[in-house]
Structures are given as C-alpha cells and as structure tokens.
Structure 1
Amino acid sequence: MRSAAIEQIHAAYSFGASRWQVMRHVILPSALPEILTAMRVGVGFGWTTLVAAEMVAATKGLGYMVLSASQFLQTPTVIMGIIVIAAIAYAFDLLMRWIERKVIPWKGKM
C-alpha cells in the first residue's frame, strides 16, 4: 500500500471516490507490481525447495534422479538433469514475466 502516492489517494477522495473505490482503483494498481515480483521470487524459491526436497527424502523426481545418478557416477544423466531443472525454472520465470506484462502493463511507467 505504501507504493500508492498519497496525492493520488487524496485526489480520488476529492473526486468523491468511496474507500472501496480508492482501494480498487488507486492502491491495488500501485501495489500490483510489487505483489507480482514477490510471487515471481516465491515461484523460484518454491521450485528450488521442491528439487532440494526430492534430493533429501524422495524416491522419484528430478532431484532424486540427479542425486542417485551422481552416486553411480552417471555424469551425462546428472548434467542432463541439471539442464532440465534449469530449463523448467527458466520457463517458470518466463511465465511469470508474461503474466506481469499482461496484468500490469503500466509497470515502470508510474
């Protein structure tokens, strides 16, 4: 909410906007860039945590595959697993950037 300029809030109230309208049309659009950036970071941390959890306590998944292949010195499998993990992480990042462009086209223009 701190990203909304107080002048914009006062201007909306002076034009007769209700509290709900100020929240919906001034405060939420101002806060959306930070919200979606935090979601993007959260998706990255979530993916990293998932792969790490698969390495620690799973019997299936990419993390388990990479860890078990490394124990049997299957270097091509390890490298391919790392590439797949990175490609999926990059795809998640591209998806979040696309969502940001569609939902908040004004980002960086306020």
Structure 2
Amino acid sequence: MARSFGAGERWIWRWVLLPGALPAIMTGLRLGLGRAVTGMVLVELLMVSDGLGGLILTYRGLLKAPPLYGTIAIILAEALLLVTAAHWAERRLTRWARTPKSPPYPARSTR
C-alpha cells in the first residue's frame, strides 16, 4: 500500500516493517534473556570451574550455606534486572501496540 503511494524502500522499512515487527522482536528478546541467564548458570556449573557457577559448586562442597544463597541471590537479582530492563524497553518502544485497558466495571447497557 505504501509503495503505491510513492514510498521508497527506506521509508517502508522505517515506518511500516520495523514498527510492525517490533513487538515480536522485543518479546523474543525479553524471553531470551531469561533463558540466557539459565543457560549461563548451567554451563558454568557443568563445564567451567570459574565464575558464579564455580562459586556455587565451591560453597556447596564446603557446606557454606550463607555464601551459597548469597551467590544464588546475586544471580536472581541479575536475571530480574535484565528481564525488567527488557520489559521496560518493550513498553517504551511499543507504546502504540498496547491495547487499552478495560474499565474496572462492566459496561452498562443503554436499554
């Protein structure tokens, strides 16, 4: 439709295609971040002896519960921060795509 009104390739990408795909892109990023943090911890636990996964294994082996739970809390805080930042960016960049909130009360009939 835009091309029939004389829009160029750059204009179509900027104002039609990217805004249409942005909600799905941002949702994918937000969901992917959560899985990335999970994968990072699993790889560090199974393959790498350094990093946060190594700390978890070390504290577990030494039976030091407070540092173990502290390390897990740091990982959870990092994941929560990343997912919250992605959610904020999604809401900020796709304001136009949100559906309006329904009223808290049912609509009255005018009969």
C-alpha RMSD over aligned residues: 2.0
Match of 2:65 among 66, 75, 79: 75
The list of structure 1 runs, each at least 4 consecutive aligned residues, that deviate by more than 4 angstroms after superposition, is none
Structure 1 residues 81-90 or 52-61, which shifts more? 52-61
**TM-score if structure 2 supplies the norm length?**
0.76
Task: Name 1:104's counterpart in structure 2.
Answer: 94
Count of residue pairs brought into register by the alignment: 100
Secondary structure of the equivalent of 1:106? helix
CA–CA separation in structure 2 for the residues paired with 1:102 and 1:108:
11
2:78 alignment partner AA: I
Match of 1:40 among 11, 20, 30: 30
CA–CA separation in structure 2 for the residues paired with 1:67 and 1:107:
44
Secondary structure of the equivalent of 2:75? helix
CA–CA separation in structure 2 for the residues paired with 1:52 and 1:80:
17
Deviations 1:44-71 (A, max 9, x none): 2211111111111223211111122112
Task: Name 1:7's counterpart in structure 2.
Answer: none
Identity of aligned residues (%): 34
Structure 1 residues 83-92 or 96-105, which shifts more? 96-105
Match of 2:39 among 41, 44, 49: 49
**TM-score if structure 1 supplies the norm length?**
0.77
Task: Name 2:105's counterpart in structure 1.
Answer: none
Unaligned ranges ≥5, structure 1: 1-9
Match of 2:81 among 81, 85, 91: 91
Secondary structure of the equivalent of 2:96? coil
CA–CA separation in structure 1 for the residues paired with 2:61 and 2:6:
68
Based on CA coordinates, which of the two structures has the bigger radius of gyration? 2
CA–CA separation in structure 2 for the residues paired with 1:83 and 1:45:
17
